[in-house]
Amino acid sequence: MNRDLLARQPFKSRVFSDSGYNVLASDQAALCKRMATRGPDRFADVDWIKGSESELRIGGAVAWISCHLASVTAAGDHDFVLGHVRATALVRDTAPLIFHRGGFTEPNSSVGN
């Protein structure tokens, strides 16, 4: 596997040439839930930090990943987007927020047993 590539499958209307990805912290579940809803206020009061490229970073996140668009492939009602990773950083030494099987979980917890 090439470590310099990152894949995601966003809705068709959300394809950008350059993207920033944030790894939220385990104490940011409320923020994650709010940002996942539909509505005009879902991004209000987010601690946005301008990155060195065109991406926005979220304050309090564990890490960020900066990517440049490599390719876009149609995948039904989504697009599969592959990006070249330009830069990464571990910003905060805490557990990441993990969403698995319909809920939030902690690293090293027993899931799927």
28-49 per-position pLDDT tens digit: 999 999 988 888 888 888 998 8
* pLDDT at 81 (0 to 100): 80
At 27, which amino acid appears?
D
pTM of the model: 0.75
Q: For 4, how many CA atoms within 13 A lie in the half-sphere containing its CB?
A: 5
Q: What angle do CA 69, 55, 39 make, to 5 degrees?
A: 105
Percent of the chain as helix, strand, coil, to the nearest 5: 10, 45, 45
Looking at residue 68, what DSSP letter applies? E
pLDDT digits (tens, 9 = 90+) for 52-66: 766 789 999 999 998
Distance CA 99, CA 28 (A): 12
